[in-house]
Structure 1
Amino acid sequence: MRKIGFIGCGHMAKALIKGLQKNSAFSISGHDRNESNLAWLEHESIPQKSLADLCIESDIVVICVKPKDMYELCATMNKIIDKETKIISVAAGVTLENLKTALPGRKIFRAMPNIGAKDNLGITSIFSSKEDNEILEIFNFLGKAFVVDSEEKINLHTSLIGSGPAFYFEIINEFENRLDGLLPDNVSKRDVTLLFLTSLISAIKDGENLDDLIASIKSKGGTTEAGLNLLYNKNFIQIFSNAVDAAKNRAADLSMD
């Protein structure tokens, strides 16, 4: 059984832990200073450990703290963690080179998962100077994982896959707001939303061309064309792409802080 310890047990760590709990090959522990996160660990029956004990006892340590807290943490870890322990950082903007400087001689991996990991539907990019099938297998258990060959791609993953769900949630939120004007009181908005999204997934699951799918719904002079034309006139596609770039640029900025 492999011992995986989480330092920082906020939203992302909780998603990773929930996904990993489904695999009996992993023994999970956590360390945090936040009372609500500690209460969550207790509720999930996850052992809480001191930083020193977690670093010493874990085969793999996953760092899930905010970038601003990373270097102080690494200075402490550097005094206690074994050089054979594998270290995974999921912090946006903290480069592999900076991590290697802060934790010299260690086996370090940058991983950029997303919130889907809690349901084993996550998408994770991994960047490291070392190849390691075990790290790849862990994140593949949480969904789909792949190795990227540059830090720039980690930043793109951060924005497109990490931040991207929030962009879609904003659209879904407005979709549900508009359902208020359609549905009777005894019909759940969320049930309709889930069915609607499932139908979209079903439509693309066999690799169908998206332009063909749009064309199959749109008719000349019809309602779909009217709505699409407004989106195109407002540069909706470019706005979405600009949002991805803004998040990507912020990830790059964080690496220089």
Structure 2
Amino acid sequence: MTAETLPGRWVARSRTSDDVRLRLLCFPHVGAGATAFRAWIPHLPPGVELCAVRLPGRENRLAEPLLDSPDALFPLLDPALETLLDLPFAVIGHCSGSVLAYEYVRRLQRAGGPPPRHIVLSSAPGAAVRQINDPLHLLPRDELIARVSEFGGMPEAVSSDADLMTMFERILRADYRVIELLTYSTGAPLDVPITVLGGRRDEFVTVCEMAAWSEATSKEFTLHLLDAGHYVLYKAAATIGRLVREISEAGNDEH
């Protein structure tokens, strides 16, 4: 392991006590960072540690260069997360973070690593129906900002500050380029249960597209629809807490 792949650099952890029984590896959406998951912490059951991925070029890694391709990201991310796999874990991603989360599990499977206990994805089309018809990372600045604002992903503090907007634009382009260049690893369906959360008022991903994740698993598939829009995962902390409790207790029942 090198300084570039130290877990403390790549992961923000909610607790490091000895009573952890389940870890949640959380992958943020384009433009976001580890703090996107902070609101979940009070809702998690005892014995669960939230481990949010910290990508370079933002938050406490602001001074580091952005990574703008899967080939640049995963060779650093994979070993950084490896030391967290000594305990049972689940993987969670929202929107474009679902793309990273699913591909991470695929890569882990291919490398012979341990499977997660559960995968939770949100507001993202299933791997079988995902299409990149209009790469956002190539759009002119005004069009890119307009699209992100349309999604509801433009922080108010950023939109009112020209310097922050310039910095945020660079982050968006790098993150979108990673997602849009990524081709899912092929193989048999994962032998891991998948739960998908979606908003009934999501204007960007249809229920049918979210239901297509059922093809990615040979185990149980569940689709939960909530009264929310596209950013359902970050506004459903209590729902996440209940789901994580079920995942944790299901694992306890197996032993």
- TM-score past 0.5 threshold: no
Q: Could you tell me the TM-score, scaled by structure 1's length?
A: 0.30
Mark the structure with the bigger radius of gyration. 1
Q: Which has the higher helix share?
A: 1
TM, length-normalised to structure 2: 0.30
